[in-house]
Structure 1
Amino acid sequence: MNNLYLVDDDQAVLDSLTWMLTGLGYQPKGFLSADSFLQTVDLQQSAIAILDVQMPGMDGSALLNHMTKAGSPITVIMLSGHGNIAMAVQAIQKGALDFLEKPVDGDKLVLLLEQASAQTEQNMLRKATRQALANKLATLTPREQEVMEKVLEGKLNKVIAAELNVAQRTLELHRQKVMQKMQVSNVAELAFLMGKNID
C-alpha cells in the first residue's frame, strides 16, 4: 500500500480525516503546513497526498505546482472547505486526481484512494521507464547520439555517412553500437522506445 499524506492547517480536520482513514485500514501521516510536508516527505517516492487548498504560507495549489515541477509520482487529491467549480477545474488541470469538499464523504474517498493508488503505480512505472531510457542514452558517445538522431529521421546509411563525413562501414558500426546500447533490434523498436518516453 502506498504512503498516504494529509496536509491541512486545521488540526481538527487532520484528526477527523486520520480517524476516518485509519478506520478504512490506511495509516495516514498528517502535516499542518506545506513546508513541514516538504521537509519530511521524499517527493520521488510512491505515495498519495490529500492537500487542503487554502492554507497560510504555501497553499495546496502552490504545493501541487511544486510537486508537478519536481516530477513527483505522488498522486494528489485536493480538499477544500469552500470549494468552487473554478477551483476544482484548476486543480485538475494542474494534475490533481480530483477535488473533494469538506466534510469528506468516506465512500467517495475510498474510491478515489483506489484510483489514486493505481495512478501512483502508473506514475512510478513511467518514471522508471524514463530513468532506464536516460541511463541507456547516457552510454552513447556524442557521435553515436548524432547517428541515432539521423537514423530516427529515417535517413539511409549512405546519406548519414555523407552528412557525417565518415565511411559507410564506420557508420554501420556506429549504428550497430547504438542498437546494442539502446537494447533494440531495429529502427522501429528504437523509434518506439524514444517516442513513447517523450511525454
Structure 2
Amino acid sequence: MNAQHHSNKYLDSQRANNHLAALNSEFLLIHIIDDEESVRNSCDFLISSLGLSTQVWPSALMFLQQVDIYHPAVVVSDLMMPEMSGQALQAHLNQHDSPIALIALTGKGEIADAVNMLKQGAADYLEKPINSHRIQEALARAQALTHKRAQLYGIKKLYAQLTDKEKQVANELLKGNLNKNIADHLDISVRTVEVHRSQVMKKMQSQHVSELIQKLVLLEA
C-alpha cells in the first residue's frame, strides 16, 4: 500500500471527523451569492440581523474556488447569474455529494426553474424582494437539511475505511447477530470476529453497539 493511499485515507478520516464535529454547532455560516451588489448587501443585512454569520460572493465560480464545499454551510444563491447559474451550482453540489443546502433567490417568471431546483435537492426558494419571515423559515429548513446531509456524509466516509470483512461483520451486527453466530455465518473464528468488531467500532467512532447500529441504519435509509 503506497504513501499516497495512506494519505488519502487519512484525509478522508480527518474530513469525516470535521463534518461530524461541525454538527455540534447549531448555526452554520450562510454564504450569499448574487452578481448584483445591491441584492447581496440587502440580503447580507437581513440575514446578519437574525444573528447569523454571513459571507458574500459576487459569483458562484468564486464561491467554489474559495470554499470547501464539504464543510457544512448554507448557500443563498441567485438563480440567474452569468458564468454559472444557481441551477448549475446546485448540480455541482449534487455531483460532489456536498452537504451544503441551497436556497434559490428568484425573480418574476423564474418560479418554474425554482421548482426544478427543489426537485434537484435545493432546500427552498425565495422570491425577490425577500420577506423577512420567509427567509427565517427557509434558513431553518436549510440548516436542518445541511446537518442531516453532513451527518450522513461523515458516516459514509467512516464506513468507506472498513475492509470488506469488517463491512461483513458490521452487516451481521446490524442484523443483531452475536459473535458466535457471526463466526458461523462468515466461517471464521470467534476471536477473528472480535478483532474485526473492535476495528469496526474504532473506525466508525462508536462507543457502543447501539451507536454503531444507528449510524448503519442511516446508511441504509
Shorter chain as denominator, the TM-score bin is 0.7 to 0.9
| Equivalence map 1:144-163=2 (5 Å) | 144=165, 148=169, 160-161=186-187
| Equivalence map 1:17-166=2 (5 Å) | 17-135=43-161, 137=162, 140=163, 144=165, 148=169, 160-161=186-187
The list of structure 1 runs, each at least 4 consecutive aligned residues, that deviate by more than 4 angstroms after superposition, is: 145-160, 170-173, 188-195
Task: Report the CA distance between 1:146 and its aligned residue.
Answer: 8.3
Greater CA radius of gyration, 1 or 2? 1
Match of 1:196 in 2: 218
Match of 2:23 in 1: none
Match of 1:179 in 2: 197
* Distance verdict in 2 for CA 1:105–1:73, change over 3 Å: same
Q: Distance in 2 between matches of 1:67 and 1:32?
A: 18
* Distance verdict in 2 for CA 1:197–1:83, change over 3 Å: farther
- Conserved? CA contact 1:7–1:33, under 8 Å: yes
Q: Which runs of 5+ in 1 are unaligned?
A: 162-169
Normalising by structure 1, report the TM-score: 0.76
Share of identical aligned residues, percent?
26
* Distance verdict in 2 for CA 1:53–1:178, change over 3 Å: same
Task: Report the CA distance between 1:104 and its aligned residue.
Answer: 0.8
Q: Which runs of 5+ in 2 are unaligned?
A: 1-26
Counterpart check, 1:3 vs 2:29: yes
- Conserved? CA contact 2:31–2:56, under 8 Å: yes
* Distance verdict in 2 for CA 1:7–1:83, change over 3 Å: farther
Identify which of structures 1 and 2 has the higher relative contact order when contacts are C-alpha pairs closer than 8 Å and 6+ apart.
Answer: 2
Q: Distance in 1 between matches of 2:101 and 2:167?
A: 37
* Secondary structure of 1:17 counterpart: helix
Q: Distance in 1 between matches of 2:109 and 2:168?
A: 53
* Secondary structure of 2:160 counterpart: helix
Task: Report the CA distance between 1:108 and its aligned residue.
Answer: 0.5
